[in-house]
Amino acid sequence: MRHTMKARRALTAVAITSGLALLVVGCGGDGGDKKGKSTASTPVTHKTESGDKAQESVTPQPDEVLAQVKGGDSVTITINSAVRDSGGFVTISGKVMNGANKAWNPASWSGDEKELVNNSASMAGASLVDMTGKKKYLILRDTDGRCLCTKFTGGFQANSEKPFYAQFPAPPASTKSVEFQIADMPPATIDITDGE
């Protein structure tokens, strides 16, 4: 009888001790989870905020308008970037919009240079003018006379828009602003950004 009572007391003590230990671990686990959750949620929130901030600084760039000019035939040129790279080039990019209710072909945009005669319906006739340095920069071309620029194959349908790019020799680093010109469109003054 005494042995049975001792065994029961020992088992009860073990059960109570185990129960208390589990309760303490359980409580400690919750606190740890809460700490873990708060620690985990802080970086996630921070990353999300950082991501949003980064997105805010990056997202507007493609839609940033450096210049916009409207010409005859309801054509609008929007320039979104003008980047000078380390290779000595300036790349201009943006969009051309045909706002007319009829198709349009920029045949006259290829320019008058004999070298560029095979670049019809393109940005081949574009140029940059450095007003400060009093110098004009013509579009770059390869050895076959193909311009380093967009060709608008098929022209423009009514009320349509197409992206474009055009590459030029870079003016001196001291030149921060140039005029972009093409055909009979008004000149567009743009600021050059230094790239990598």
- Of 136, 195, 190, 145, the C-alpha closest to 168 is 136
Q: How many domains is the chain partitioned into structurally? A: 2
Same-domain check for residues 156 and 132 = yes
DSSP for 19-36 reads: HHHHHHHHHHHHHHHHHH
At 45-56, the pLDDT tens digits run 333 343 443 333
Mean per-residue pLDDT of the chain: 77
Q: What is the pTM of this model?
A: 0.66
Same-domain check for residues 68 and 138 = yes
Return the CATH number at 78: 2.60.40
Same-domain check for residues 106 and 183 = yes
Of the ranges 10-19, 35-44, 177-186, which one carries the lowest mean pLDDT score? 35-44
At 134-166, the pLDDT tens digits run 999 999 999 888 999 999 988 999 999 999 999
Same-domain check for residues 101 and 142 = yes
Same-domain check for residues 167 and 70 = yes
